[in-house]
Structure 1
């Protein structure tokens, strides 16, 4: 599959991604731990696509998704980061690429998938940005065409990381969850609210999502220096 190299701002590089810039830091090890936990989270089937979402905005889910995509690529996995946040996209800013075409373009127009896949600075990591923000994100994400897009991506890549809008803000996360083998919720420790998390979890469960874990973002230094991310696997009923 030939991808579009995309336009990159001259003289710019991707924003700071800790897994790349500080590979030996504790926080980078936490991302690798999450990667391992995802690998063993299902005994029935391989996890080839993971959706990262949150209960509310500003939890850090886009940062976590971007770092996880880099972590998978570093492990030798052919990886794609899909920015499916069609309301407040960030991946084009993180990786310093243009956003003139992307997921919204692909769903609306009859164009080859390869035209919206952009190479990144990282070996084995490709990117599909959100594309222009549409007036009807939920309608686009519920289109049957997205199912065929995801099927092709999961056939071509070892791992597809999906960045989704917060669950309690809009319905997009619920719609997207059916196209992911697993869902991970990201929550900021300082603003963590059990009732909101349970409400978000209930909405995802109603959509048939396979919730495989929760990432606590922004843990304070007294837990462990540099330990900003921690993974808790979703308990399963017996």
Structure 2
């Protein structure tokens, strides 16, 4: 069983460690996560992966943005979608505009080419949330969203989706059923067990394909290699999901 831990990511900071410090040990941990994801489901293609958490401040946006860079660094053509239509941050992380984005595209105000933005990596694009709408759940559950995902699957090898916390709003549960896989970010010493169990039940009812969890902000005694930022990814985090 494999687990991935992270340590010492300051609350309130969202950094692209994998882009700014590619040789640091935290970047290597994201590459380990990337490798494990590549071999999670060898029997079927997993192109759309949704990241959520039980609640806020668990680090999912930092995890998914750094993973996106790590995967794009292998040459894969990748899109990072910010589907948190309530508190979006991916445009801030990548220092992009959020004037158009997903909501503008879904409501017919711009083309997909206008909505998708380039990053410093030529094969990594970002589709920011766009202006916050009054009806996030309805937009994400619309036929337009279904058609968009089908279109994006034709254009990209991997699509990573940053979604809101699962317990707070219905949005990630609506999206989960549309994706090939779901990963739940868990923050050690912060995420409540009951909240995680509730997240599991919500995803189960949506028949969401749960790939596993990332345990964030945790330490482990051991050799020098494991000091600093560490993540252990597992296909099913038994402590919380196999009870």
Matched, 1:36 2:35: yes
Counterpart position of 1:64: 63
Q: CA deviation at 1:228?
A: 4.0
Structure 2 segments unaligned to the other structure (5+ residues): 1-13
Note the 1:27-176 alignment, pairs <5 A: 27-109=26-108, 111-176=110-175
Q: CA deviation at 1:235?
A: 6.2
The aligned length equals: 223
Moved more, 227-236 or 186-195: 227-236
Give yes or no for contact 1:27–1:228 (8 Å, CA) kept in 2: yes
Q: CA deviation at 1:230?
A: 2.6
Counterpart position of 2:197: 198
| Structure 1: distance between partners of 2:82 and 2:120 | 17
Structure 1 segments unaligned to the other structure (5+ residues): 1-14
Q: CA deviation at 1:221?
A: 6.4
Give yes or no for contact 1:85–1:130 (8 Å, CA) kept in 2: yes
SS of 1:146's equivalent in the other structure is: helix
Which residue of the other structure, out of 206, 216, 234, is the alignment partner of 1:232? 234
Give yes or no for contact 1:39–1:46 (8 Å, CA) kept in 2: no
Q: CA deviation at 1:83?
A: 0.3
Counterpart position of 1:210: 209
SS of 2:33's equivalent in the other structure is: helix
Render the CA deviation track for 1:100-154: whole Å, top value 9, x for unaligned.
1011111111632111010011221001000000011111111111011001111
Task: Give the 3 Å change call, closer, same or farther, for CA 93–235 of structure 1 in structure 2.
Answer: closer
| Structure 2: distance between partners of 1:43 and 1:90 | 32
Give yes or no for contact 2:213–2:237 (8 Å, CA) kept in 1: no
SS of 1:227's equivalent in the other structure is: coil
TM-score (norm 1): 0.88
| Structure 1: distance between partners of 2:189 and 2:27 | 21
Moved more, 19-28 or 113-122: 19-28
What RMSD, in angstroms, separates the aligned Cα atoms of the two structures?
A: 1.7
Counterpart position of 2:219: 220
TM-score (norm 2): 0.87
| Structure 2: distance between partners of 1:26 and 1:212 | 24
